[in-house]
Amino acid sequence: MYLARRPSRLDRYIFGQLAIGLVAATLGLVALIWLTQSLRFIQLIIQRGLSPFVFIHLTGLLLPSFFAVILPITCFIVTLFVYTRLSSDRELTVMRASGLSDAAIARPALALAGVTMILCWVLNIWLVPTSLSSFRKFEFEIRNKVAAFLLEPGVFTPIPGHITVYIQRRDANDVLHGILIEDSRQKGVPATILARTGRLVAGPAGPEVLLRDGSREQVDAKTGRLNILSFKRNLIDLAQSSTTKLTAAPKTSEATIWQLFHPNPAQIPPATRKKWHAEAWRRLATPFAVLSYTLIALLAVLRSPFRRHGGTIALAGATFGITFLVALGIGVDSLAARQNGLIPLIFVVSAGPAIAGAVLLLRAGRRARIVPA
């Protein structure tokens, strides 16, 4: 069998070109996506006065999800480009003249696709949910905990969770003077808190402000009377309304494979469990798309007649086919999330083209061996 032989020098030559191209194309596209997606966090970093390292750390946690999406596409692009160049330079003609079948010529691309598939499984099952979970926690810390400690004098500072804080000034000892807090966490009964002085402290659940010599003013929703409560000392938890988000059920993209297959009934309603099951099978099935896309690229080049400047029709057809498969995969994922009975279609869309492509490639190899010289 051609596919079972040890790698030859020719295999290593083609594999090297494919690997270099895959790394370059993937890094380039991921960098472009990272740049466009990270722009929405620049305002957050600037407003909080944080360092560039925090920005890099925050946006860097999104990189594994970018790699998981981009790798199947770049594997197709690189395979199509390298084998088209080999065909244009008549290197494929020389390989066939030396007795190599299309299956043997395709071995380096299939080996690279296998390595990329394993990498995609690692990303889907472990790296992506872990990094997205860390991203959510880090963003929560920046928006809630860090924001409270960066109160600027003379500025109304909104803190996520329906709280607005104003301070008149901050002295050299970090004591706050002239404090006004608009607390709208209780729906329909907002409260205004005034204090002469205060100090920010780190509590177990997030930032807290220790107020002294102040009052809490709140309108009674039933009587319409203004209630005023004076205090000498009062501790306000600024992150109280947001801390519960960290203990809630994880998002689908952040859940582990075990959580997706075994959701907590107390946290996940039945309708959402269907979505979780579909997501679990999607993570296991989508890496097969790497092999499918690679085989489509190989067939577009190896099965098309030689042309000095490449088979434009075959290349355009392969590109259209990949676009169609990507769109079809998105539609099938959405349908499977609503009706779990359609989950097998996820495997059909991801692995079906790979099976069909492998059959066509092997048949071409057998025909080439039985045709007399």
pLDDT in tens, 305-356: 655 554 678 888 999 999 999 999 999 999 999 999 999 999 999 999 999 9
Task: Please indicate, yes or no, whether residues 13 and 133 belong to a single structural domain of this protein.
Answer: yes
**Residues 313 and 192 both lie in one domain:** no
Residues 78-109 as b or e (16 or more Cβ within 10 Å = b): bbbbbbbebbbeebbeebbeeebbbbbbbbbb
Q: What is the pLDDT of residue 5?
A: 61
Run of H or E residues at 109: helix 107-122
**What percentage of the chain carries pLDDT values higher than 70?**
86
Q: Are residue 325 and residue 213 in the same domain, yes or no?
A: no
152 within domain boundaries: no
Query: What integer best gives the mean pLDDT of the chain?
Result: 84
Please state which of the ranges 115-129, 265-279, 355-369 shows the lowest mean pLDDT: 355-369
Q: Which of 121-125, 291-295, 323-327, 359-363 has the lowest mean pLDDT?
A: 359-363
* Range with the poorest average pLDDT among 73-82, 122-131, 313-322: 313-322
Q: How far is CA 364 from CA 55, 126, 217, 361, in A?
A: 52, 38, 83, 5
pLDDT, tens digit, 9 for 90 and up, residues 194-242? 999 988 777 766 677 889 999 999 888 778 788 888 999 988 877 654 4
**61 pLDDT higher than 80:** yes
Within 8 A by CB and 6+ apart from 274, the residues are 337, 338, 339, 340
CA-to-CA separations, 6 to 12, 343, 351, 366, 367, in angstroms, rounded: 10, 38, 26, 20, 23
pLDDT of 8 reads 83
Whether residue 45 has pLDDT greater than 60 = yes
pLDDT at position 371 is: 44
Collapsing DSSP to helix, strand or coil, 210 comes out as strand
- Predicted confidence band of residue 253 (pLDDT cuts 50, 70, 90): confident
Which band of pLDDT confidence, cut at 50, 70 and 90, is reported for residue 188?
A: confident
Distance separating alpha carbons of residues 108 and 110, to the nearest angstrom = 5
Average pLDDT over residues 140-168: 74
Same domain? 8 vs 141:
yes
Provide CB contacts within 8 A for 161, sequence distance 6+.
Answer: 144, 185, 238, 239, 240, 241, 242
pTM score, two decimals? 0.75
Asked if the structure places residue 153 within a domain, the reply is no
Task: Provide Rg for the chain, Cα atoms.
Answer: 30
Please report, in angstroms and rounded to a whole number, the separation of the first and last CA atoms in the chain.
Answer: 20
Question: According to the model, what pLDDT value does residue 44 have?
Answer: 66
Last residue of a domain, one of 241, 263, 286: 241
| Same domain (yes/no): 38, 107 | yes
- Please report where in the chains the tokens 């279609």 appear, as a residue: 345
* pLDDT score recorded for residue 195: 92
Please give the angle made by the CA atoms of 189, 192 and 193, to the nearest 5 degrees: 130
Structural domain contains residue 131: yes
Q: What is the predicted pLDDT for the residue at 143? A: 66
Report the alpha-carbon distance of residue 265 to residue 281 in Å, rounded: 19
Q: Exposed, middle or buried: residue 199 (CB in 10 Å: 0-12, 13-18, 19+)?
A: middle
Q: Which residue range(s) make up the domain with 177? A: 161-241
Domain endpoint, select from 177, 208, 241:
241
* DSSP 8-state secondary structure symbol assigned to residue 196: E
Residue 156 lies in a domain: no
Pick the more confident residue, 266 or 301.
301
pLDDT at 323: 94
Q: How confident is the model at residue 244 (pLDDT cuts 50, 70, 90)?
A: very low
Same domain, 20 and 79: yes
The fraction of the chain above a pLDDT of 90, given in percent, is 44
pLDDT class for 243, splitting at 50, 70, 90? very low
Domain end residue (candidates: 181, 209, 241): 241
155-181, pLDDT tens digit by residue?
887 776 678 889 898 888 878 899 998
In a domain, 354, yes or no: yes
Residues 139 and 178 occupy one common structural domain: no
The structural domain count of the chain equals 2
Same domain (yes/no): 138, 176 = no
Is there a single domain that holds both residue 175 and residue 57? Answer: no
* 139 and 170, same domain (yes or no): no
pLDDT of 184 over the 60 cut: yes
Residue 48 has pLDDT above 50, yes or no: yes
Asked whether residue 357 falls in the same domain as residue 260, the answer is: yes
Domain membership flag for residue 11:
yes
- Residue 309 placed within a domain: yes
Does residue 113 sit in the same domain as residue 68? yes
**117 in a structural domain:** yes
* pLDDT given at position 81: 94
pLDDT for 292 = 96
